[in-house]
Amino acid sequence: MVNIQIKEKLISIVGAENYDDSKAGRLVYSYDATPNFQSMPDAVISPRNAQEISSILKVCSSSGVPIVPRGSGTNLCAGTCPTEGGIVLLFKHMNKIMEIDEENLTVTVQPGVITLDMINQVEARGLFYPPDPSSMKISTIGGNINENSGGLRGLKYGVTRDYVMGLEAVLANGDIIRTGGKLAKDVAGYDFTRLLVGSEGTLGIITEATLKLIPLPESKKTMLALYQDLEQAAKSVSKIIADKIIPATLEFLDQPTLKVVEDFAQIGLPTDVQAVLLIEQDGPIEVVEKDMKKMAEICKKQGAVSVQLANSEMEAEALRTARRAALSALARLKPTTILEDATVPRSEIANMVKAINEISQKYGLSICTFGHAGDGNLHPTCPADARDKDEMERVEKAFEEIFIKAIELGGTITGEHGVGVMKAPYLELKLGQAGIDAMKAVKAALDPNNILNPGKIFAKDNRKRVVVSQ
Amino acid sequence: MTTLKEQTVIQEAFKNRMDEDELLNCMRCGFCLPSCPTYVESGFNETHSPRGRIALMKAVADGLIEPDEDVERSLDLCLGCRACEPVCPSGVRYGHLLEEARDIINQNKKHSLPVKAVRNLVFNGLFPHQNRMRTTAGLLGFYQRSGLQSAARKTGMLNWLPKNLAAMEKVIPQVPKLREMKNRPTYFSSAKPVKKAAFFTGCLMDTMFLETNNATIKLLQLAGCEIHIPQNQACCGALHGHSGEKQTARDLAKRNIEAFEKLEADYIITNAGGCGAFLVDYDHLLKDDREWHERALKFSEKLKDISEILYELEFHKKVKLELPGQIITYQDSCHLRNVMKTSMAPRKLLNSIEGIEFREMKDADRCCGSAGIYNIVESEMSMQILDQKMIHAKSANAAVIVTSNPGCLLQMKLGIEREGLSRKVKAVHIADILVEAACQKEK
């Protein structure tokens, strides 16, 4: 609880205009993009620099007030939902691009920078920052780093983790540390950069990041492969990789997803087929053309009924934008949209797609599947209604089975959305008790008072639940 | 100030009246955030974003929080531009939620006496009655022509007004004489009519902007339409609908439907994006009214904006359009773009004018801050938005800013005035510039 003394201390740090504890002001930061999670913070604070954050953390540490850093609140694991109250910390004043270093190929940013704004800035200089989560138009870099976000280009270029070179972060005790730097090689001590990436705000508050850039590929082509059979599409994915081609994007959308996406985007997507693959390659023009031709052949051989090349960059961008809207578009179907991101080794994609279909039939649910098939990261999504308790129980069971199947196939419970609160009960499936204990030891060492985004990653008990709260 | 007792009543009404499915349809992905002018201009404050406002409405309906002043403030500061709707992958109809919420608050809140008197005068006494609109506009015309205006300006009397109201006084167009407003024919033929168009003249458009309405008629004639102007039509009701006066809006809708349905025209034409968006939504406004819903649907189906119909009838190919060399830019009317989905047609028409360069300004699809009476009641935010708009307009270096809605037109004129650009830049309605460009020689 934030009492009057704590409130006064916090206001003396950031100023009254950057401290809000009105009901409306707190309510609008009580949620993120995760269905069925909502919890009121005690206050919302908007510091202007790392020094202020340090002072805030000292206050929180000494008084045991939880603190939840939040970017734009687009995450899908309830990672920024203040489930234990406390303070939500915003970065709206810390949203500058500090430097684009064309000699070292780096960009240094404050955490509140919108991902797409930064991407546009670096691309204007012929440079490339590949991680492109579907929410990049809204999400912040700070949020991306804390969730280790992936995206459509993950399979060829990797995820956020692979581009973070150095960080400035404030620890729970208020100490400000710097990790890494503009260095291709650096083995001075533990790799704290990697530890902080994907830590979901539980180990420290990131206040600045230096990110790696690469040269912008000189050309790019986009195509759609259409299938009347889900598994043929999934098999094409494994075949393409096995044929030693790594496309820039290899996305999968099933028919129900195609229908809602087309409903929204109205760009003439095929809705009379069972599945499509959205395939892209970038690089030198000769290589791109050769790869696209080869991949088209593979798709046809696997049973694609047609393969269509995008005629212009505008058409290609429309396809990508439509794909990025898939999750939100599925929300058209029913009031509550439960989505997961179970991930398997890409050779197992076909088996996973098959299993998801069997599980959805078993529980009488309609599960729509789309996702980054190329890197084994699928998003089975279940349109449901939170008011229908029986249905929610079935969703719960179905997703548990999907997680178990993913682990069985050598996969993980979450590929890119994070654990947060939503998947905390399943973490043990992936890590085992010893794995969880090791992680808890790190958390306890860095945040002994448990003030940094408490209640996330580690479940309070082992009761499995994704959606049903009792 | 809303009293605690009023809050309880409002909360109850939220529970009963807000569309629960629509509220749940928002899955809080946040895709709407970058499109919202008040979110951006408030420095990324979620309270002033569509996602935040929907969350607040839902929280009030769920009993999580009370409809206190901050909630009301959040809803008041919304422009109602509906830019969040086309970008919403889930298809949440935010405008409908906002309208209902504002109606609930307004119906259950006791306004102070002066506010009540002004609201009553404007919403019930003035706008629904076209003859009174004419008389009022006539008085304004008298003020402009009689020498009162120049006297007021010279004596510095206008300095007594708040700054932007004084600037507003300068940009109000010359009002036509009462006689001209009253005596316009109700039917216009065309050389070889191919379509029958019924013209929704609008209350403001048919007084203060009579010339633009005359231009619209001329363009329709050139495009091959015969034009009927039903006499019993009334104000569209948008002003009422957006301000929590839904019942009056419904009454006006019924009057309009009745006035137009007998004509059996091919199209019902408007030249004001704000009216058009409200007219096209009549079926939603009357959704619970069995007798009227079907009739409203038929009405809405026929509704088209002037630029859309001109483009469809290939006016720009039939008529040679030409103007002296200059840069022209276009500011979208939010409701024309986001609700009526007309954004391409005006640009294509302008682009087909020979001699000029059509240049897009940055963020042309973003609200100019006019938003009905928003620029008067929320003038601080409105002027902040307008100033941002003018930065983009200036860097486009345009001599003409074209709009397609009277509110936007006045706001752009105001922006030009505030920037001291009135000698270099003008704002015009698309119908006026097209008439100017039409040499009236058929190709």
Nearest CA-CA partner of A78 in A137, A25, A30: A30
Q: Between A161 and B145, where is the model more confident?
A: A161
- Looking at B119-265, which runs of residues are DSSP E strands? 187-188, 195-199, 225-228
* A428 is a domain residue: no
pLDDT tens string A251-260? 999 999 999 9
Confidence of residue B421 (pLDDT cuts 50, 70, 90): very high
Q: How far is B310 from chain A (nearest CA, A)?
A: 24
Specify the CATH architecture of the domain B317-442. Answer: 3-Layer(aba) Sandwich (3.40)
Residue A29 pLDDT exceeds 70 = yes
CATH 1.20.1050 domain span(s) along chain B: 179-309
Q: Chain B residues contacting A, CB < 8 Å?
A: 21, 24-31, 33-34, 43-47, 49, 51-52, 55-56, 59, 64-66, 68, 70-71, 73-74, 88-91
Domain for residue A468, yes or no?
A: no
Alpha helix ranges (H) inside A79-225: 115-123, 141-147, 154-157, 192-196
Question: b/e per residue, A236-266, with b = 16+ CB within 10 A?
Answer: bbbbbbeeebebbbbbbbbbbbbbbbbebbe
My answer on whether A121 and A211 are in the same domain is: yes
CATH number, domain with residue A161: 3.30.465.10
CATH of B4-107, one of 2.70.98.90, 3.30.950.10, 3.10.20.310, 1.10.1060.10: 1.10.1060.10
Sorted by sequence, the CB contacts under 8 Å of residue A74 that are 6+ apart come out as: A32, A33, A135, A138, A139, A143, B29, B30
The domain boundary residue, chosen from A286, A302, A325: A325
Across the range A307-331, mean pLDDT stands at: 93
The answer to whether position A54 is within a domain reads: yes
- The percent of residues above 90 in pLDDT, for chain A, comes to 95
Intervals of CATH 3.40.50 along chain B: 317-442
Residue A251's beta-bridge partner residues?
A278
In chain B, the residue whose alpha carbon lies closest to the alpha carbon of A91 is: B44
Collapsed DSSP state (helix, strand, coil) of residue B200: coil
B277 versus A467: the higher-pLDDT residue is B277
For residue A329, list chain B residues with Cβ-Cβ distance below 8 A: 89-90
Residue A267 and residue A162 share a domain:
no
A6 or B144, which is more confident: A6
Q: Are B60 and B54 within 8 A, CB to CB?
A: no
A245/A184 same-domain check: no
B88-122: buried (b, 16+ CB within 10 Å) or exposed (e) per residue? bbbbbbbbbbbbbbbbbbeebbeeeeeeeeebeee
Residue B70 pLDDT > 60: yes
CATH number for the domain spanning A224: value is: 3.30.70.2190
Residue of B28, B51, B87 to mutate when probing chain A, most A C-beta within 10 A: B28
| Enclosing H/E stretch for B305 | strand B303-305
Number of compact structural domains in chain A:
4
Task: Band the pLDDT of B375: cuts 50, 70, 90.
Answer: confident
Alpha carbon distance B432, B202 (integer Å): 16
Query: Does residue A19 sit within a domain?
Result: yes
Q: Which residues of B touch A332 (CB under 8 A)?
A: 25, 89-91
Q: What is the CATH number of the domain that holds A350?
A: 3.30.70.2740
State pTM to two decimals. Answer: 0.93
Q: Are residues A103 and A209 in the same domain?
A: yes
pLDDT cut 70: percent of chain A above it: 98
Confidence of residue B443 (pLDDT cuts 50, 70, 90): very low
Residue of A nearest to B59 (CA): A27
Rounded mean pLDDT, B166-177: 79
CATH class of this structure's domain B179-309: mainly alpha
Structural domain includes residue A438: no
Q: Which of A306, A325, A344 is the last residue of a domain?
A: A325
Mean pLDDT of A192-206: 98
How confident is the model at residue B147, as a pLDDT? 79
Contact assignment for A325 to B31 by CB distance below 8 Å: yes
* pLDDT score for A465: 56
Q: Does position B441 have pLDDT exceeding 80, yes or no?
A: no
Looking at residue B442, its pLDDT comes to 47
Report chain B's mean pLDDT, rounded to a whole number: 91
Last residue of a domain, one of A69, A90, A111: A90
Tens digits of residue pLDDT in A421-456: 999 999 999 999 999 999 999 999 999 999 999 999
Q: Quote the domain boundaries for residue A257.
A: 219-325
Chain B residues with CB-CB distance to A23 below 8 A? 65-66, 68, 70-71
What is the nearest CA distance from B371 to chain A, expressed in angstroms? 24
Residue of A nearest to B20 (CA): A335
The total of other beta-carbon atoms located within 10 Å of residue A120's CB is: 11
What ipTM was predicted for this assembly? 0.95
pLDDT at residue A470 tops 50: no
Q: What percent of chain B has pLDDT over 70?
A: 97
- Residue B146: other Cβ atoms inside 10 A: 10
**What is the mean pLDDT of the segment spanning B305-321?**
95
pLDDT at B117 over 80: no
Distance CA B236, CA B245 (A): 13
Mean pLDDT to the nearest integer, B213-229: 95
First CA to last CA distance, chain B: 62
